[in-house]
Amino acid sequence: MRSSWGLKLAAWGVVAFLHVPLALIVLYAFSAEDKTYVFPPPALTTQWFGVAWQRDDVWAAISLSFEVALWSTAIAIVLGTLAAAALARAKFFGRDAISLLLILPIALPGVITGIALRSAYGTLHIPFSFWTIVIGHATFCVVVVYNNAVARLRRLQPNLIEASIDLGADGFQTLRHIILPQLGSALLAGALLAFALSFDEVIVTTFTAGQQTTLPIWMLQELIRPRQRPVTNVVAVVIIALTFIPILAAYWLTRADEPAHR
C-alpha cells in the first residue's frame, strides 16, 4: 500500500516538474507588468494578445517557421519512407550500420549536428538561406518518419504482397492498394511529429539560419529586450496550443495501431 502511494506521488511529482513551467508561461502571458517577471503578477490583462497580433515581426517569424517545417516534413516523408522500404525486410551487408547512421542525427546533441552542418556549408561555400535551415531540420525529421515507417513495414505480412502479385497486380497497384493503406497512419503520425519538432527547433537553426529569423530565434531575441516581455509568453502559449495538436494526434494514431493486449 505504501509503495503504491509512493509511486503515485512520484508520478505526480514528475508531472508537476514538467508542467509547472508551462503553467507559468501561460500565467505571465496575462501579466500587466511589461518589463520583469514578478510572481505573482501585480495584475492580469489580455492586452498583450492584441499587441502580439499587430506585430509584423511575430507573423514573419511564424510564417518562416511554418514554411521550414512544411518543407522539412515533406522531404522527411520521401526520404524516410524510401529508407524504411529499403531496410525493413531486405538483408544485406552493412544494413545495421546504415540503420544506425540514419538514427544518429536525432541521437546526437543538436549543437553537434549544427556545427557539422555549418562546417559543411562553409566547406561547400553554400550561403545561408531558407534552404539551409530546411536541410538542417530534415536531418532529424527523416529519423522520425523512418522509425514509424520501418516499424510498420516490419509488421506487414509478406503474404499480403505475395497474394496481390499472385492475383495479377503490378508493383504500383500493390503499393497503392496493399502497402500504402497499411503504412498511411504511421506516415501521418511521423509527419505530425516531424512538423512539431521542426517548428520548435532552435539549436540547429541557430547554426544554419544566417540572417533568417524563425520563431524560436525570435523568442530568444525578445527575452533580451526590457519591454513587452509578455508578448513572448503570448506567442509561446499560441505555439504550445498549435504543437500540442499534432503531437496528440500522432500519439493517438500510434496508440491505435498497437496490438491489443489481453
d(CA 14, CA 184): 34
The pLDDT of residue 70? 92
Q: Do the Cβ atoms of 80 and 138 come closer than 8 Å? A: no
Residue with cell 518518419: 145
Predicted local distance difference test score (pLDDT) of residue 212: 81
* Residue 165, pLDDT score: 65
pLDDT at 261: 46
Cβ contact 195:101 at 8 Å: no
pLDDT of residue 262: 41
- Whole-structure pTM value: 0.76
**pLDDT computed for residue 55 by the predictor:** 83
| Cα within 13 Å of Cα(85), Cβ side | 12
How far apart CA 13 and CA 188 sit, in angstroms, is 33
Distance CA 71, CA 213 (A): 16
Report d(CA 31, CA 44) in Å as an integer: 5
Question: Letter for the amino acid at 149?
Answer: A
Q: pLDDT (tens digit, 0 to 9) for every residue of the chain, 262 residues total?
A: 556 777 778 888 888 887 777 887 787 777 766 666 667 777 777 777 887 788 888 888 888 988 999 999 999 998 988 888 777 766 777 777 877 777 777 777 778 888 888 888 888 888 888 899 998 888 888 888 888 888 777 777 666 666 766 566 656 666 666 667 777 777 888 888 888 888 888 888 888 887 888 888 887 777 776 566 777 888 888 877 777 776 777 667 666 555 544 4
d(CA 56, CA 239): 17
Whether 145 contacts 81, CB under 8 Å = yes
> CA 129, 132, 137: angle at the middle one, nearest 5?
135
Residue 164 has what pLDDT?
Answer: 67
Distance CA 73, CA 250 (A): 14
CA distance 5 to 133: 47
